[in-house]
A and B are shown apart, each in its own frame.
Chain A
Amino acid sequence: MTGAPSGMAEQILAFCEELRSEEVAIGTSEIQDAFHALEIVPWTSPVDFKEALATTIAKSPKDREIFDLVFDRHFFRATEEAALEYTPEGAEGRSASLSDQIRDELSMEALADAIRKAIAEGDESAMNELARLAIEAFGRQGESSGVVGVDMQRIRRGLGLSPSADTGGDGEPNGDAIDRDQIARFERQLRRELQRQQIQRQGQLPPARPLSELNRALPMRGAQDLAEVHKAVAQMKRRLATLGHDPRGARRGRTVDVRRTMRSSLETGGVPLNLKYRPRRPRKPEIYVLCDVSTSVSSASTFFLSVLHALHDSFRKLRSFVFIERISEVTHVFEDERDFTTIAEKITSTGGVADVSGYTDYGRVWNEFYADVSSDLGPRSTVIVLGDARTNGRPPAEDAFARVADRANRTFWLNPEPELYWNYGDSVMSAYTPFCDGAFECWKTVHLEQFVDVVASGKVESTGFTARKYTSGHRY
């Protein structure tokens, strides 16, 4: 970052390019904003510089995460590149700044203590210094392998740094336990310093690599997934509820309520200025959800049950069923219980859906469903099937399914398997898709959101680029 501002501009553009290659959408206007911001913010102050760039460029928590990673990498590389260019001989300059005296005095234990202290205090510059000392100390012992990852491991082990693993089982933090995040910070310093030395040794930069998927994934807890499902379903609810009365287009075809119009015209001296319309009753969807809970979808069934759980939160007229060999209505379970784990337990233990073998029997399920429920199905009903369409070789009974789909207004199928696996093995997806208004792969919340988009936009026919739909005949 020692370059003149003109070099800076190029650096920032290059940085934005790099972000774009990591799929952060940056518009030209945003880059302009960044430059405007940097005109006011002193770009010599690293924190302000970074924050000013971030606020103009990274516009969501996820983008920010990527921004931070790329920022560190990019400007680290840029600095090193400049350093190589300007001081080809002075590779010793940096480490010579440490006084020899300290270097000799520090034993391994003292070093580890000092590092612990610096980590605990969160002192960045001390950490940086100590990282360099640690590398040198190990270098003196002749242990430097020249491979960054290997050296990292050795130094970590040598210093005996471990995240507070030795806390008691009761969760009480013991005296000198160190926060995991802070150790990570120190290790970042360490890694960077090792990389810097490697670059100095070799006199060139290692090739740039895109961020790995692992780095980019947001930290996720299981329960957060549940929250996301709820979010997607809440969205679906809102979309379905406002479906059909978008403010402008819906004006047409409404009927004027003469009585209320006359009444309000009194306010304006008898001139009917404000037309009052008969309110349009929003259509209340009746939803029937059928959820496969057999072992072949066991990994997905937690996800599906959470979808069900969220649906029950949002829709009044919802009946849910689970099936393996037989079908069983579980609406009451969701109505009685709020807690997700209890529900999951109840359904798997007392669902009463496995008869003998525990293998899914789609044919029987359709027949049973048709016999029990078909009289309730009508033009307002939406049937959603969550299942993998693996019949274990039993007859798929697509005619029964067709009758169900025929009676219901709309039928959707969400398959927990990637589309690639449909119709392989005992999957008979293609037997059912002709009768569905839409069939989607659905094994992540993203897919659920796509499903919501498609369903709520009311345009099932026009296929989204990711959620594909098979109309009848497509597969034959």
Chain B
Amino acid sequence: MAATPHSPPESPEAVADALRDAAYLADDSTALIAFLAQRLGKPVLVEGPAGVGKTELAKALSRSTGRELVRLQCYEGLDEAKALYEWNYRKQLLQIQATASTREDGSDPVGVGEIFTEEFLLERPLMKAIASPDPVVLLIDEIDKTDQEFEAMLLELLSDFQITIPEMGQIGANTHPIVLLTSNNSRELTEALKRRCLYLWLDYPSRDREIEIIRLHAPEIDAALAGRLVDVIDMVRELDLKKPPSIAEAIDWARTLILMGADDIDEKTFRESLSIIIKHRTDLDLVAEKIVPRLGGSAGPSGNGNGSANGTG
């Protein structure tokens, strides 16, 4: 099933299948855009709330296409030397000294051309993705954390897949990487960057898809419990929380419930395992206030829903 790194996929469905084999359930638009990215050779800008699987998508693409994943984690103050390339000063200096001692007759000094070659270049992630002999998946994670200057620097790479090194000239890509940029939308990205990318907005998955995802990652969970879990997670996400629970946390919670041997989410289990999905003190209070009473009510198997719901509130 896994396609070779070099052959582009046939159809969006093929991409979806390949991603599924790599344990990632993509919806139609995600599969379509992943397909387009490979066929058009364009970078994809993935935005969406934290924890919907933006980074995971890149990893799954790497697994499904058999390409290596090159990851650049962005942060404030990230600069070219850490993202693109750097000259290996020490090695250059040694080279100069070594050459000077062998040419003791003092014939000719070391030429610039001799020490500004690929041999003395330290490859950083972006350079590595470009220069790699095999095609890779390049993940530029949390691009919104960097400064606008860095974004501008990326433009050459994203549109032409090449890097200009003043001493050496342009280095073009040997192979075409699949490029994914993720952003948590903490600042507006520049138009220039957006124009060069395909845009994918990832949101929390639909109920059915989330159940599927959870059952894929925690196969021991039974269908009813998974459904119940997703319902509760949805309720929690609808509250105005500092940090709504992500898909990864939902999966963790499912695994926890399995370990606890729970077969339903009632008030007690919920309270005990709450810290898996809620990571803020104020959020904890809010969830305890808003969700816990509702749990008691709708979990009751007999028809006394109304009474108990009001009673616990």
Contact = CB atoms under 8 A, between A and B. Distances in A.
Say if A and B assemble together. Answer: yes
Interface of A: 25, 27, 29-30, 33, 36-37, 40-41, 47-48, 51-52, 54-56, 58-61, 64, 168, 170-172, 221, 223-224, 231, 234-235, 238, 242, 246-247, 267-269, 271, 273-274, 338-339
Interface stretch (B33-41, B135-143, B211-219, B221-229): B33-41
B68 interface: no
A273 B195 contact: no
Interface stretch (B197-205, B255-263, B264-272): B197-205
Nearest to B79: A247
B45 to A, nearest CB: 7
B306 A231 contact: no
Contacts of B309: 170-172
Interface in B154-207: 186-188, 191, 194-201
A236 B174 CA distance: 41
B200 A55 contact: yes
A268 B91 CA distance: 9
- Interface-centre pick from A30, A40, A41, A172 (highest chain B CB count, 10 A): A40
The bracket for how many chain B residues form the interface is: 35 or more
Contacts of A52: 32, 36
B50 to A, nearest CB: 13
Which 9 A-B residue pairs are closest in the complex by CB-CB distance? A223-B240, A59-B194, A170-B309, A59-B199, A51-B29, A55-B198, A40-B39, A55-B33, A51-B32
B306 A168 contact: yes
Contact of A41 (B12, B47, B147, B197): B12
A268 B89 contact: yes
Given A40-B35, A274-B89, 19 more contacts: A29-B195, A33-B42, A37-B40, A47-B28, A52-B32, A55-B198, A56-B199, A59-B45, A59-B197, A60-B47, A61-B47, A64-B199, A64-B201, A168-B306, A238-B76, A247-B79, A267-B90, A273-B89, A273-B93
22 contacts: A25-B191, A27-B195, A40-B40, A41-B36, A48-B12, A54-B199, A55-B32, A55-B36, A58-B199, A59-B45, A59-B199, A64-B199, A170-B294, A170-B297, A170-B306, A172-B305, A221-B240, A231-B186, A238-B76, A242-B147, A247-B149, A271-B93
Contacts of B93: 268-269, 271, 273
B294 A33 contact: no
Contacts of B297: 170, 172
Contacts of B12: 41, 48
A247 B149 CA distance: 9
B298 interface: yes
A51 B36 CA distance: 10
- Interface-centre pick from A27, A170, A221 (highest chain B CB count, 10 A): A170
B133 interface: no
A446 to B, nearest CB: 11
A269 B32 contact: no
B132 interface: no
Contacts of A48: 12, 28, 32
A242 B40 CA distance: 38
B258 to A, nearest CB: 27
B294 A171 contact: yes
Nearest to B33: A55
Contacts of B4: none
Nearest to B309: A170
A403 B180 CA distance: 54
A332 B161 CA distance: 53
B47 A170 contact: no
A8 B55 CA distance: 36
Nearest to A51: B29
Contacts of A170: 293-294, 297, 305-306, 309-310, 313
B195 A51 contact: no
Contact of B306 (A172, A221, A339): A172
A231 B47 CA distance: 16
A55 B199 contact: yes
A269 B97 contact: yes
Contacts of A29: 195-196
A338 B309 CA distance: 30
Contact of B198 (A27, A33, A238): A33
B276 to A, nearest CB: 23
Contacts of B199: 54-56, 58-60, 64
Contacts of A235: 187
B185 to A, nearest CB: 8
Given A55-B198, A59-B199, A268 B32 contact: no
B36 A338 contact: no
B260 to A, nearest CB: 26
A40 B38 CA distance: 11
B310 A30 contact: no
B282 interface: yes
Contact of B29 (A27, A55, A234, A242): A55
A168 B310 CA distance: 11
Given A51-B28, A59-B197, A234 B36 contact: no
B116 to A, nearest CB: 15
B122 to A, nearest CB: 14
Contacts of A25: 191
A234 B184 CA distance: 14
- Interface-centre pick from A41, A223, A339 (highest chain B CB count, 10 A): A41
Nearest to B194: A59
A59 B185 CA distance: 12
B76 A56 contact: no
A48 B35 CA distance: 11
Nearest to B297: A172
A20 B28 CA distance: 27
Nearest to A449: B188
A29 B40 CA distance: 13
Contacts of B32: 41, 48, 51-52, 55
A252 B262 CA distance: 65
A387 to B, nearest CB: 29
Interface string B223-255: 000000000000000001000000000000000
A172 B40 contact: no
B149 A172 contact: no
- Interface-centre pick from A52, A168, A221 (highest chain B CB count, 10 A): A52
A368 B198 CA distance: 57
